Amino acid sequence: MLTLGVMAVAWLLHGAIEGFLWEEFQQLGEWAPPTFTILVSALMYVVARSRRIPARTILHLALAYQVAVSFGVVFTQYWGAFAGFSADQIRGDTVGLSAVAVWMLVFTVLVPVRPRHAVIALLVSAAATPITYAIAARAGDAPVLPPSHFFWSLVFPYLVVAGVAYIMARIIYRLGQDVWRARELGSYRLERRLGQGGMGEVWRANHRMLARPAAVKLVSPAAVGDTPEALAEMLARFEREAQVTAELQSGHTVDVYDYGVTEDGRLYYVMELLDGIDLEHLVRRFGPLPSERVIHTLLQACDSLAEAHRRGLVHRDIKPGNIFLCKYAFKVDVVKVLDFGLAKHTRLRAADDVRLSQAEVIRGTPAYMAPELAMGEEAVDGRVDLYALGCVAYWLLTGSLVFDASSPAAMIVAHVRDEPVPPSRRSELPIPAELDELVLACLAKDRAARLQSAEHLASALAAVPLESPWTPARAAEWWRTHGLESSGPP
């Protein structure tokens, strides 16, 4: 932002000196362009110095500033400059490249905006000279040029400059990203990216003093929004996820160490680094699990949810991707429940909870969504998590979703209206009748017909008769056979 401020001051002084000290301008077309450049530069200086405007918003305004200065410079340099010329006298070397060409290159180097945004501003800036000349020609202050002459003299040179500037923008932006990732976030240094999704990235990091590995979750700038209100809302949601998760003490809930906001407005939080795989990828890679291992996994997830529900928290986004199966200390097949970003605190005042929720009708993942959540009901409780856990059990047992649907909307309708096929009818592996019934009980449309608590579900799961229980020895053998690399939370 300091660079933008300095650039704005430089153009402000340039406009003042060229416009009012070196020239005696009489007509509107003579004094208006430098006056415009001075005003927008003064405004850009104020914006760049502001601490209340998000960095992303300032960068977007900077692109508009680039375009505004380009037009101001071209009008100052070219307006009326070709009065009395004939079309034959107007050539590329006669017109020459204006200061806009230099401005486009300098701005690209000094202001590292996203390349896809930079190219738009560059193309509009490149159009400043041909647009100005066309206006002058229409006003009778410049000769009308044939189309080919106009293109090669006034358009093509600036397209070349825009192309060069775009390549520079890509290089500078990539270098800037690499430098930013090498910086420390608080006491943590980013080392290696573990995953990337729609909301952002997850990086492996190390504590600078403790040498403790951790996972850092970074929210993508695109997911934050461009307005101060969007940033404030996302920050509130991010803080809530960190604070909510930090309240939980179950050994099956991921630990959160820290959270914050970087200088350029990116949100992050630091959590324990997990060595293993989430249930989504586990089933996709290795197929459905035996019933005894499914029960072993669900019991641990119930432990995490039981504590959350007792504290008045409803997760609202239980799904295989948010349940991690990992090596932990000297144990294997340890479950960690992740991502309380959509958690609802049933003990908050309604106004407070609405204030911290995004403006969206439905929250959660359609394939794992309880009917009452799909219908947009606000008065939900822990039973929506138990419904979702039933969907997770279905996935683990069969390798299939509860319902096959062609779109998210169709999936939501199915959860509200359709009855599920028992998992035993969609799996080649043996599934005890008692487990079949428990999964269907979790998937009851009427929440009153479901199991009423995570503790109740855990007790019922523990009572399912099994021919061969899932033992630590079997788990250790599975991990030895399939030796998974550390991947961290998704």
317 noted as active-site residue: yes
53: Cβ contacts below 8 Å, ≥ 6 apart: 47, 61, 228
- d(CA 365, CA 324) in angstroms, rounded, equals 17
Q: Which two tokens stand for residue 90?
A: 């107007």
DSSP state of 113: -
Per-residue tokens: 21: 């000290």
Max intra-chain CA distance, the chain: 99
Q: What share of the chain is helix, strand, coil (3-state, %, to 5)?
A: 55, 10, 30
- In angstroms, the CA 293 to CA 160 distance is 62
The two three-digit tokens of residue 489, written as one number? 């939370």
The candidate with the shortest Cα–Cα distance to 265, out of 54, 51, 2, is: 54
Contacts 24+ apart (CB under 8 A), 130-133: 130/154, 130/155, 130/158, 131/71, 132/71, 132/74, 132/75, 132/78, 132/79, 133/78, 133/82, 133/95
Are the C-beta atoms of residues 307 and 256 closer than 8 Å to each other?
no
Report which DSSP code applies to 463.
T
Neighbouring C-beta atoms of residue 101, cutoff 10 Å: 22
Q: 157 φ, ψ to 5°?
A: -55, -35
Q: Are strands 344-345 and 313-314 parallel, antiparallel or unpaired?
A: antiparallel
CB 103 within 8 A of CB 162: no
Determine the 3-state secondary structure of 323 from DSSP: strand
Cα-based torsion angle of the residue sequence 23, 26, 28, 34 in order, rounded to the nearest 10 degrees: 20
Q: What's the CA angle centered on 36, arms 22 and 10, to 5 degrees?
A: 65
Which candidate in 317, 333, 385, 436 is catalytic?
A: 317
Which positions are annotated as active-site residues? 317
